[in-house]
Structure formats: structure tokens, C-alpha cells
Structure 1
Amino acid sequence: MSMANGTLFLGIDGGGTSCRARIVDADGTVLGEGLGGPTNTTLGIDSAYQEIIGTTVRALTAAGLSESDIGRLHAGFGLAGLHLERDRKAMLAYEHPFASLSIGTDAYTACLGAHDGKDGGIAIFGTGSCGYAIINGEGINIGGWGFRISDHGCGAHVGLEAIRRALQAHDDILPQSEFTHAVMDRFDNNPDKAVIWAESAKPTDYGTFAPLVVEYARRNDSLAQRILWESAKEAGQIIHALQRKGADRVALLGGFSKYLKDWLPGEVIPLLVEPKGDAMEGAIRMARQAFEQKGRRI
């Protein structure tokens, strides 16, 4: 099918760390992909849309298309933050340049992609975290209410715990170790600098400390291991919650999940399966379904 007049679909996977775009033709052949920055809608609808448009243009360029072709794309957005009704309404009301638009949470599109549109669950552990399941066509959300009050088992919370424990060690509440020194070195061993940093730090900033925890846990630092074990225990609770909702297979997703997997409670391991596809594929599936229903917004 010629790209000059063929139907094109766009899948957007927008999270707290990055935005990914994929363009396919009507046969599902991948034409081009693009990568951009954070698109969590809680950071602002304008900011999220600007990042989506920029990432889409990169995908168009990779596909050998021009920016003017954006109006030919039947788009599906899977975005972090859309579990909030406020942000969902704002995103739907926003004037967009696409041929049609379907939206859902990033968890919904990730679950669609992971199980090829069939029933199943996902547990996402990246900068943030959440669980999601599709059971008998119904979406079920577990957690994911944001870094300040939720997102258990995520990289940002592991980073936060690293800083908290390092400060406790600095004050001789906990034993000092090479691990706590490595964390405090980020602040020139000065708690004042940690306090000032925390005043404006975002979840992604906390997440940059998670690799230190993994590194020193592998070196058998007991404090780093305890942080990972506690995080994995909370991750296991999310997986158990998905099971209670009816998900008998759960795919682990998110950049931090590969570090947590070896620390998960043994009883959840039999539930885990490899994802069949990614969130962009799920977003394209959503866009295609909407297109087949005459492109109505959902």
C-alpha cells in the first residue's frame, strides 16, 4: 500500500520519563518511530501536547514523511495521568491536528499490547508504578496515584529511600557504609544541599539514585539490599492485587522491573509472563478500533 494515500496509524506511549511514537500503515508495517521527553499529563496538558507533537514529527521524519502528514494520522495516546478525570477531559477538549484521536492511560495501552488485546494484567515499575488488568473487556486500575502518595515499588521511591537512609547514617542513626557515602557524595556530604535539592526534585530526579541501590545491593550492602527487598515486597502486593481481580497472568513492564524481578516474593513468580507487544502497539490497536468505528473519540 502506498504511503501517499494509505491509512496511517500513530501510537503514542507517554510517561513520566519519555514519550515514544510509532507510525504504521494499514497492514501494521512499522514506518517510523520517534522519541521525546516526559508527557505525564499532570505536568500540564500544553506541555504534554507539545512533547507529543514533537515526538510525532520525529517519527514522521523517520518514516520519510513530512510534518504536513500529521493530519493523516489516526492517533492513539496512552498517557500517564489520564486516570484522573480532570486530565482526561482536558486532553479530549484540546484541539489536535490528527485525523482522529483515541486516548487511554499508558497502563491501558500497555496492557492491550502486552496481551495482544486479550485478558491479562501488567505491573509497571519504572520511575513510577501501577498495576492494570483487562478482564472481560473491562479495565481495572491498581495504584499509580503519583509519587507523593502512591507508586509503590518504583525507582523514584527506591531513590527516596536511599537518600532517607543515607541521611540517617550521616546522623549516626544507622550504620554508615560505602553505599550511604556514595549517596551523600551526590550532595558533597552536606545535608543542607540535600534539603535544597529536595525542594524542587521531581520523581525522575529521585529515580537517578535507584541504580546506586542496585549496584550496592549486588555488592552485598545490607542497607541497599533491604531497600530493594522492601520495594519488591510492595511490588508483589500489587501483583497479588491483580490476581485477586482476576488476572491469572501478569507481565512485568517498566525500566526498574528488571532489577526488582530477582527480589520478588516467590509465590508471584508463577503468575509472570513475557509481554507479547509494547504500549505503542496497544495504542495503535486502540486507534485502529476507533477508526473502524468511524474515528469516534473515546
Structure 2
Amino acid sequence: MQAKRKLSVLGIFLAIGIVLFLFVGVEWTYFDYAMKNRIPKILAMLLSAFCIGSATVVFQTITNNHILTPSVLGLDALYVLVQTFIVFILGATSPLIVNKQYNFVIALGVMIVASVGLYKVLFERGKGDVMFLLLVGMIFGTLFGSLSSFMQRVIDPNEYLALQNNLFASFNNIHTPILAMATILMLLLIPFVWDDLKLLDVMTLGREQAINLGVDYDRVVKKLIVVVTILISISTALIGPITFLGLLVVNVARQLFKTYKHTYLIIASVLLGGITLLYGQLIVEQVLGFTTTLSVVVNLIGGLYFIYLLLKESKQI
């Protein structure tokens, strides 16, 4: 009951955040325009919170490490590379950059195909070794980042400025068709992986114990890795990369809910993700006056929290 009460409190905070985001600073003369602008933002935040929160919980269980996030797979760096490559080859006025629907489909398609194809090969060569997958993912992430930096230095400065709009997480230009496509794709994933999510509680015991209890461990891990990469790809293609959001909300959820049950952890992480994005964007818009972006604030707080976790882990060793 205590866990359910905590979830109820988080749900109330989230609901209050939605109401505040909808109505704070709204001039009633432009009420209809404000709602058309703010409702897609809220839906995008909730969708991103679901993708990042749930994917990070699953990923940490698979890797048996609470300070790792799916960003170590190199998806954020791949997204930046895709955007930079389009501008480098076609220019900032290309329809693949200007048209948000085209840009979303291209970025999402490249990330899903590259990550699923790459990690399928790596799993076969690494014989299902998750640590081998993480190592190669980090190497590719560094490679993608280096290629992006090289192209960004070569392109025209004006095109680089235009490119910057796509490299930072933003909720300012959420298009309804993109949001609809992302939502449909996410909903299609849920029944595909629903039965396997029930096995996560057992998988926290470790590979050998899970196998002894009848879990087809390697098959489940491969399937969940694919789902994690797709969820992170959806979120990144929709709003841009927010590296430390998953680390922040999932570890706070683990502190609040001292439980092994992933039902509570996933729901709590999603709620905390929504709360963080909603209140963070509200502060960026109403207090800071758009002088910075939400991703900068989240990554600053998340980075500091990551350092805290590292120091905490080092003391326990």
C-alpha cells in the first residue's frame, strides 16, 4: 500500500504540473492558440518520459548496473551524426531538415536500422555478452561523435547555426503528425514485449539464477535490447537527445521505491520523467525566459547526480 500511495502522490504532482503548464502565463485572448501550442508539448513530454524511463529501467536490469543508461549504446551520438550528415551533404535548407516529418522518419529509421542490425551482429559474435555490446556501443558512440565534430567544423557557420536547432532537445516545435507516428509506434511495441517484462523481476537475480528458474535468458535479453533501442530512438528523434534524464529519474525512483518489482519502478520512472520535463520546461519558459534549453538544465542536474552516484559506489567498494 505504501508504494501505491507514493505512486498516487507522484501522479498528483504530474497532474498539477500539467495544469500549471497549460494555464500559467496564458492570455485568455489567445487561449485557443495557446492550447494548440501547449497540448502537443505536454503529449511529447509524456511520451518521452515513457520511452526514456521504461527503457532505462529495462536496460539497467539487463546490464545489472544502476549507473548505466541506453545512451552508452551510442544512439544519441548517432542522432547527432545523422543530422550533421544531412546538413553537410544537402545543406540546412534541405527538406530533410526543414520538413519535420521527413526529418523524424529519416532519423528514426536510420537509428533503428543501424542499432538493431549492428547489435544483432554483435550479439551473434559476442555470444549474447551484454558487456561486449556495451563496450562496442561506447566505441561507436565516440566514433560517431568524432565524425560529427569534424563535419560541424567544415560546414558553413550559418548552416551550423541552423543545425544547432536539431541537436538540442526541444519541445518548442512539436508537430502533431510526428507525435502521432511516435505514439503509434510506441503502442505497437507494448504487446510485443509485454510478456517478457514480467520476467524482469526474476532477471534481477542474475543470469544463472534466472536460467535455473526457467527463463530463456539470452532470447529475452536480445528482444529487450531491440525494444530499448527503438524506444530511445523514438524519444531522440522526437525531441532530441537528453543524455542524463533516464539516469536521474530511474535512480530517484529506486531511492523512493526500495523494491525489486519492475511494475512499480517503471511506473515511478515514467511519472518522475514527466514531472521533471513538465516542471523543468515550465521554469525554462516562465522563469528563465527561454535563455537556456531544458536539455542543458536536465543534463547539468543529471551529470551532478551521476558524479554523486559514482562517489557513492566507490565508497561501498
How does the TM-score come out when normalised to structure 1? 0.26
How does the TM-score come out when normalised to structure 2? 0.25
More strand by proportion, 1 or 2? Answer: 1
Structure number with higher relative contact order (C-alpha < 8 Å, ≥ 6 residues apart): 2
More helix by proportion, 1 or 2? Answer: 2
